[in-house]
Structure 1
């Protein structure tokens, strides 16, 4: 497969499918700062995407069991919804739910740091 076709496929279907390419003109002294900012933004995006995936999977598998008296829609953001769902899974779920809940809490705590 030619390199340009592989790059096009990566940007449309692969790991960069939900990212956009940005080109800006900046002073040479600010280059490292902009690269560091872009790196932090990509890392935050990956963590958010992974946390959303974990939460969706948890709700699909354990939704009725963990949401009996919890309204996640009232919580302000993904981080707080995932933390509440994870704690409920740890308290009310089986061993697999406990492991998923711990993993979700680890990701929530990773986003705080």
Structure 2
């Protein structure tokens, strides 16, 4: 089916967007047939409700993926900042050591 796709590693995944389109097409075809007959069975309404729920889930999924990616970015940014601070701390310790070396040594007479 069009809503299944293969990932780079060969595993199959469900393309949620394509699946929702597929279900919407089925609903539209069914609704068209029912209009021609003059009756709309309860099943069509249930399917339309399912489509609406799928769209909500798709939006929630997109939000969750975005947040996960964003938190990964924040995590790596924090890691970079920690590394930079650690390097600066090392430089400061070296400068402090060098400055101490420049101080005149006390002479005990």
What range describes the TM-score normalised by the shorter chain of this pair?
A: 0.3 to 0.5
**Bigger radius of gyration, 1 or 2?**
2
Name the TM-score, length of structure 2 as normaliser: 0.37
Name the structure with the higher strand share. 2
